[in-house]
Amino acid sequence: MTSSAVLNGQKTIHTAACLIIGDEVLGGKTVDTNSSFFAKYCFSLGIELKRVEVIADDEAEIIEAVRRMSSKYDFVVTSGGIGPTTVNANLYMLCTGSHDDITYESIAKAFGLKLNLHLPAFERMKRLSKPHPMQAQFDWDTPSPRLTAKLRMVELPYDESLPEEQQAVFVADDTWVPIAIVNGNIHILPGVPRLFERLLEHLKPSLLPRLTNPEGKGIYRYMISTPLPESTVAPYLSDLAARTSSRGTKVGSYPRWGKQRNTVTLVGTDKEFMDSLVPEVERNVQGKMVSKEDELDPPSDEEGEAKEYSQ
């Protein structure tokens, strides 16, 4: 396992996967926005996001999913099930974990690891967070159920054969929550969107050297608006897809129900090649490249009436 962890932590990042963990998402109590953010994040870096899954707070499901994802994808992110809700230095620590915060424990079991108190994270927690007003008498140095609950949030999966700094990283100076890294490529993040997004943004500099394009240039998406129905342009697009696949360009067609124009897309990393395709695509679909799908839409009845009235 150690050798795979070292390899996973060093290889070039081509692909990614996102695992959303939480009964509250599956039960409709919480809307998942983290996977959408992560998709845009990967797109901007030129990483191909291959899979997004939402699973319950269930140990067996977490174990199966992280083992499979770690073996198939270069960069894996999990969201949820680790406890903290807010950890800004200027805010109260409102949550101390709950009975279903099992992500750390489950991922540790998945790779035969034990949980170990991460002292740097605990020290940062004490320094950067303060108890809720209802916990005004809380004492960091006196054993108590509340302290035990807080300690649970900094008990991380630990591989004795690897340096500690390779297993947990702090990416934001005013946040005590570390990004725990397991098996070299699984990055465990909290589910709170603001914190999830903040930690990923600060992780970006450490990912750039491992990307296919170290400058962090992402994937390009061109949109061509066409008045033609999908059935009319399908034969041409099928031929175009076959001709461009070897250059890493994907061709898409997206009907816009209830609208007069549909959208054809070119997605890839070779900007110069894609630029050369645009005139051909515009000609064959009788369309025009746009920056927004609705750019060439005729005004709605209400918009037309308002414009006529203003004149």
Same domain, yes or no: 201 and 229: no
- Is the pLDDT at 217 greater than 90? The verdict is no
Quick one: which H or E segment has residue 274? Answer: helix 271-285
**What is the β-pairing status of strands 155-158 and 262-268?**
unpaired
- Per the structure, the complete domain to which residue 230 belongs is given by 220-290
Instruction: For residues 152-169, give the mean pLDDT.
Output: 93
Same domain, yes or no: 103 and 151: yes
CATH number at 262 reads 3.30.70
Same domain, yes or no: 33 and 6: yes
In whole angstroms, give the CA distance from residue 11 to residue 132. Answer: 43
| Last residue of one domain, picked from the residues 210, 239, 261 | 210
* Domain assignment present for 258: yes
CATH number at 164 reads 3.40.980.10
| Last residue of one domain, picked from the residues 210, 245, 270 | 210
* Domain assignment present for 91: no
How many Cα atoms are found within 13 Å in the side-chain-facing hemisphere of 66? 28
Percent of the chain whose predicted confidence (pLDDT) is above 90: 69
- Contact criterion met (CB below 8 Å) for 177 and 121: yes
In whole angstroms, give the CA distance from residue 99 to residue 228. Answer: 55
More confident residue, 304 or 215: 215
Number of domains in the chain: 2
Considering the chain, what is the average pLDDT of its residues? Answer: 87
Same domain, yes or no: 253 and 136: no
In order of 8, 220, 280, 290, 292, the CA distances from 296 in angstroms are: 46, 21, 19, 8, 9
Same domain, yes or no: 42 and 152: yes
- Degrees, nearest 5: CA angle 16-74-110: 100
The model carries a pTM of 0.80
Same domain, yes or no: 205 and 238: no
Same domain, yes or no: 229 and 170: no
Same domain, yes or no: 184 and 280: no
Same domain, yes or no: 281 and 159: no
Say what the pLDDT of residue 88 is. 39
- Degrees, nearest 5: CA angle 143-145-150: 85
